[in-house]
Structure 1
Amino acid sequence: MIFERYIQRENLKVFVISQNVIWLSAVFMGILASIPKILQLKVSLAEILVDCLTAFLYSLYVWFYNLYTLPKYANHAITTRFFGARLIWSLLLGFLVMGLLVIVNQLLFQDHLIGSMILMYQFRGVLINLTIYMFLYLLYQSYINQVMAVELERTKSDHLEARYELLKQQVNPHFLFNSLNTLKSMVEVGDEHSANFIVKLSEFYRYSLENRQKDVVPVHEELKMLNAYFYLIQARFEEGVSLQVNISAGHQKATIPVFTLQLLAENAVKHNIVSVDQPLNIRVTSSDNWIIVQNNLQLKSIPEPSTKIGLENVNQRYLHLTGLSIEVKADDQYFTVKLPAHEYISN
């Protein structure tokens, strides 16, 4: 009877009512509205059929008019109000339609209707209009509530999936394995920076533990973690990688989803050549309402396996927290990610 289907051009669910429901309810309305005529004495079958037909045609008009004024067909915002412009227009046009049906009835059947009978037809039309409008309103509002509930569950699911992926990134065993190997090599050769490496490694994982339950953090805190992370990367690749940070004081007060900068830096190192001959340069800057992370593009000839969910993870968290999307741009020279950095993002 009542179901959902998909429109391919927008790939969105829309509200649809079966034609059987419309036609059968119109027949029922026609019979129900004609009961007073049926109960009268000395009324011919033709008069009863004409009365039923009038109510039937009017019911069809009310159904299709109200269906085609829903937001699905008309460019109207979804509203939860019962009394509004749609109902007023439906009633006003209903007066005209019922008047036309009465005139046609009189012309075809030479039925001389007195004023009280015309008013009765109009009153009957108002009752039919309100009944169908209320029924359709309740169905449509129920449908909208179901769609909103499904969308809310989908958003929660996406957010939980993003949080789970973030948690896995925080305790990336591959990164920890590489860091410990680097530390082992530094200790074996007596590198004087071994102590600093241990401090930065502990800072990175302490930051991970302290912020794993947070959604967003101030940019200046995220930069502290990024510097600790990048110190570990530079200890491994030395002059093969560099980080430049130039973010205004105002942008540093803004908040962004936790671990965003670290994830983007990690992606840059993972997918690009990092060597002294071909150094990887990562720049973190700010402009207008954006934090911009950019690196020179020098993709590895044999790319590492990628789940392709890192950037999508960041984008989903931005959509969940701000309703805004990140911007990604790649050309022959640079790979650039622009992150919305609006101060109204709340913690």
Structure 2
Amino acid sequence: MKTYDSCYYDRFLKGKPILFINFRGRLLFEILMGTIFYMVLASIFDSGQPLQWKGLVFSVWLFMFISEGIFGFNKIIACKHPWHTHTKGRILFLLGFSIIWFSLAVLIARYAKPFVQGGQPMTDIAYNVSLTIAILFVTIYVVLLFAYNYHQSLSFVMLEMERLQQDKLKQDYRALQDQVNPHFLFNNLSTLIAIIRHDKEAAIRFAINFSDVYRYVLESNKHRSIKLVDELKFLKAYGALHQERLREGLIVEHHLDEKYYNWHLPPLSMQLLLENVIKHNVATKATPLKLQIFTRDGKIIMVNNINAKTTTYSTNTGLSNLRERYRMLTDKEVVIVKSENEFRVELPLIEC
């Protein structure tokens, strides 16, 4: 794919260019420059004399010849010498061509002007003054052309860098989400195996509920964030799976303010925390595991008592995964506080 700088396609940049890049705009600009040039010379050498339209047309043509030649050469070298990768070479080529092209235009003007206007050749003084003013005008044009090209090239590079950065963030985010699925599947299959050993009917109910829950997992993986109300529905269904096995050993209380229902958080965030709570704590009728979930100050807060298991295998990827996903969505941090008797996690909600 050719870059914007190479062929001047307005597919990456929005808005109007800072210089007259289309032919009509350039033509008006060149006519204006040629007219001003002629008026300045006329006021110096032909003060009080009527303006000659042939001289005006010749001046306009001269500036069109110089400007379009430089612009055309700039466009030709753009493909092989883009500004953002060959800045020095581009400047040298363009300056060199501009000097040669301008010299040719001056040579043509010196010998063609008398024939066009039907007058005498230009005096040395008139020639030198005209040359100086012409150099000034052409220098302005070339500087503007440089500024325009560099601006457009820099804008293109910045947009490309931003696009690549966003693509990387999306890929990293999906990679982090993909870490959750195998973890989720492995733990719940282990739970299902444990239930089968004791109650086959409960295992069937668990498998049916699990299929519904996993359908949500697959669907939520398509989104970077999800509404709290949807995540809460899933959490209740997911908690019911464990309630089937743990009975009175697991107590989950929900106290969420409905004003936060349409706020967002990463998918499976609350599920991951509930999973960790169950995984690292004993939950029996004699020593129940109690989890409280509530909202406060734009946060979801999950607090559980600690009934720590003596041996628990952990890869320590769950909470770090959750922190990374939050970093990609917001500058607000996940807060984790562990005391002797309580484990507390605060998840910031994202207002959309």
- So what's the TM-score if we normalise by structure 2? 0.54
1:273 alignment counterpart: 281
Cα distance between partner residues in 1 of 2:236 and 2:310? 28
Aligned 8 A contact 1:282 1:295 in 2: yes
Say which of 200, 203, 208 aligns to 2:209: 203
Q: Which amino acid aligns with 2:147?
A: Y
Say which of 231, 256, 260 aligns to 2:269: 260
* Cα drift, residue 286 of structure 1: 1.1
1:147 alignment counterpart: 161
Give 1 or 2: higher strand fraction. 1
Q: Which amino acid aligns with 2:281?
A: I
The one of the two structures with greater contact order (alpha-carbon pairs below 8 A, sep at least 6) is 2
Cα distance between partner residues in 1 of 2:255 and 2:312? 30
Which runs of structure 2 are paired with 1:297-336 in the superposition (5 Å)? 304-306=313-315, 308-309=317-318, 311-312=320-321, 315-316=324-325, 323-324=329-330, 327-333=333-339, 334-336=343-345
Cα distance between partner residues in 2 of 1:163 and 1:210? 14
What is the DSSP-based 3-state SS (H/G/I as helix, E as strand, rest coil) of the residue aligned with 2:315? Answer: coil
Mean Cα deviation higher: 208-217 or 283-292: 208-217
Unaligned runs of 5+ in 2: 1-82, 108-124
* Cα drift, residue 265 of structure 1: 0.8
1:178 alignment counterpart: 191
Identity of aligned residues (%): 17
Say which of 142, 154, 162 aligns to 1:128: 142
Aligned CA distance change for structure 1 residues 119 and 301 (closer, same or farther; 3 Å): farther
Cα distance between partner residues in 1 of 2:172 and 2:336? 26
Aligned 8 A contact 2:227 2:265 in 1: yes
| Larger CA Rg, structure 1 vs 2 | 2
Q: Which amino acid aligns with 2:212?
A: R
* Residue-by-residue CA offset, 1:142-181 (whole Å, 9 max, x unaligned): 32343234234324423442453344345x1332222332
* Residue-by-residue CA offset, 1:173-213 (whole Å, 9 max, x unaligned): 332222332353256xxxxxx65x75455234313225622
Which runs of structure 2 are paired with 1:81-92 in the superposition (5 Å)? none
Cα distance between partner residues in 1 of 2:323 and 2:338? 23
Aligned residues: 246
Which runs of structure 2 are paired with 1:44-63 in the superposition (5 Å)? none
Aligned 8 A contact 2:180 2:318 in 1: no
* Residue-by-residue CA offset, 1:208-252 (whole Å, 9 max, x unaligned): 225622436553443343233334434545565432211022233
Cα distance between partner residues in 1 of 2:93 and 2:216? 66
Cα distance between partner residues in 2 of 1:211 and 1:185? 27
- So what's the TM-score if we normalise by structure 1? 0.55
* Cα drift, residue 32 of structure 1: 3.8
Q: Which amino acid aligns with 1:140?
A: L
Say which of 206, 217, 234 aligns to 1:225: 234
